[in-house]
């Protein structure tokens, strides 16, 4: 009697997956995810905790699990990463303390925060990147002003700063350059190099080179650095929308440009400008 032989069927990669194999586009950016929040975080939970669960009461007002989770999701949205257990507990305790001190004022602030947090899931990745840039800038500027007055960073922003700190700040222009923006600028390099078939890992010296460029940049160029994550998301969207023949031509053009460029960052930014202008032209 013969023994049945089991077979394992491996799914063939989709055309889209094959198209981007070997490039960063083969992997989803966290802002492109369904939730729009970092993986493993509170905002990206498949099964959220019961938001109606009461965690504290004061003077007839109730603080719920939903309130706490919205603050945690907001913090993780700015941090760009899921927070660990101790960080979440520290923020939760800070919210609870504020609630006990002034429950009505605390709940008003939490309701204002909740609207923005809930909208994240319903907007596009590019809009998420725009919103994140705006909120990071506004919130960090407020915190910097508080520090000037002798106050420490709030518990929430102290946590965010451990994950996504300010690396450069232009006080006169009101522009902050955070670590995630620099990482996004590096990622643009990886993306462009991968499209030309070159090594996907950026040079170890590139971060120092880009920071030096940011230090010497005028106001407009410094603002471009600060908005690097938005530019990255625009570039990723634009590339995905190219037809096969257009993509092939773009790869050929990039290969020639990168091969002859004295400064690859200029090529990277030119492609980013092209993508931004094309998407803006279709939007308006």
CA atoms within a 13 Å half-sphere pointing along the CA-CB vector of 43: 31
Cβ–Cβ < 8 Å for 207, 185: no
How buried is 250 (Cβ within 10 angstroms: 0-12 exposed, 13-18 middle, 19+ buried)? middle
pLDDT in tens, 51-91: 899 999 999 999 999 999 999 999 999 999 999 999 999 99
Report pLDDT for 206: 87
Please check whether residues 39 and 120 belong to one and the same domain. Answer: yes
Report pLDDT for 44: 85
Residue 128 lies in a domain: yes
Report pLDDT for 283: 56
How many angstroms separate the CA atoms of 43 and 48, rounded? 8
Per the prediction, the chain carries an average pLDDT of 90
Please check whether residues 33 and 130 belong to one and the same domain. Answer: yes
Residue 212 lies in a domain: yes
Per DSSP, what are the bridge partners of residue 62?
57
Residue 11 lies in a domain: no
Phi/psi at 226 (5° precision): -60, -30
Total number of domains constituting the chain = 2
pLDDT at 265 over 70: yes
pLDDT in tens, 101-157: 999 999 999 999 998 999 999 999 999 999 999 999 999 999 999 998 999 999 999
Q: Which two tokens stand for residue 45?
A: 């939970």
Residue 49: count other Cβ atoms within 10 Å of its Cβ.
13
* Residue 250 pLDDT grade (very low, low, confident, very high; cuts 50, 70, 90): very high
Report pLDDT for 4: 44
Q: Which two tokens stand for residue 35?
A: 């939730």
Please check whether residues 72 and 189 belong to one and the same domain. Answer: no
End-of-domain residue from the set 162, 195, 230: 162
Phi/psi at 189 (5° precision): -60, -45
Cβ–Cβ < 8 Å for 19, 194: no
End-of-domain residue from the set 111, 145, 162: 162
Q: Which two tokens stand for residue 184?
A: 């996004």
Please check whether residues 194 and 92 belong to one and the same domain. Answer: no
Would you say the C-alpha torsion 106, 53, 75, 231 has a positive or negative sign?
negative
Please check whether residues 54 and 151 belong to one and the same domain. Answer: yes
CA atoms within a 13 Å half-sphere pointing along the CA-CB vector of 74: 26
pLDDT at 279 over 90: no
DSSP E strand boundaries for the chain = 54-58, 61-64, 166-170, 175-178
* Residue 202 pLDDT grade (very low, low, confident, very high; cuts 50, 70, 90): low
The percent helix, strand, coil of the chain (3-state, each to 5) is: 65, 5, 30
Longest dimension (CA), the chain: 86
The mean pLDDT of 223-244, rounded to a whole number, is 96
pTM of the model: 0.90
Residue 14 lies in a domain: no
63: left (phi over 0), alpha (psi -120 to 50) or beta: beta
pLDDT in tens, 7-24: 444 445 566 778 898 899
Q: Which of 59, 60, 55, 58 is nearest to 70 (CA)?
A: 55
3-state secondary structure of 7: coil
Range of the domain at 194: 165-277
Residue 264 lies in a domain: yes
Please check whether residues 141 and 240 belong to one and the same domain. Answer: no
């Amino acid at each position: 009697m013969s023994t049945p032989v089991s077979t394992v069927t491996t799914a063939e990669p989709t055309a889209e997956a094959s198209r981007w194999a070997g490039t960063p586009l083969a992997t989803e950016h966290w802002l492109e995810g369904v939730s729009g929040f970092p993986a493993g975080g509170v905002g990206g939970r498949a099964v959220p905790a019961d938001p109606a669960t009461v965690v504290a009461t004061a003077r007839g007002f109730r603080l719920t699990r939903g309130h706490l989770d919205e603050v945690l999701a907001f913090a993780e949205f700015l941090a760009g990463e899921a927070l660990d257990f101790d960080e979440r507990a520290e923020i939760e305790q800070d919210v609870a303390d504020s609630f006990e001190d002034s429950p009505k004022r605390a709940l008003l602030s939490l309701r204002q925060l909740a609207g923005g947090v809930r909208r994240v899931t319903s907007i596009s990745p590019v809009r998420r990147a725009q919103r994140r840039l705006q909120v990071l800038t506004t919130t960090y500027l407020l915190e910097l002003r508080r520090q000037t007055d002798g106050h420490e960073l709030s518990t929430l922003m102290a946590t965010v700063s451990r994950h996504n700190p300010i690396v450069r700040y232009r006080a006169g222009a009101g522009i902050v350059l955070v670590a995630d923006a620099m990482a996004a600028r590096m990622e643009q390099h990886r993306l462009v190099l991968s499209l030309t078939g070159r090594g996907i890992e950026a040079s170890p010296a590139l971060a120092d080179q880009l920071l030096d460029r940011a230090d010497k940049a005028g106001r407009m160029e410094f603002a471009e650095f600060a908005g690097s994550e938005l530019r990255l998301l625009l570039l990723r969207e634009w590339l995905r929308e190219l037809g096969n023949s257009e993509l092939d031509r773009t790869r050929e053009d990039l290969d020639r440009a990168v091969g002859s460029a004295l400064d690859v960052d200029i090529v990277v930014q030119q492609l980013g400008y092209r993508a931004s202008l094309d998407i803006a032209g279709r939007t308006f």
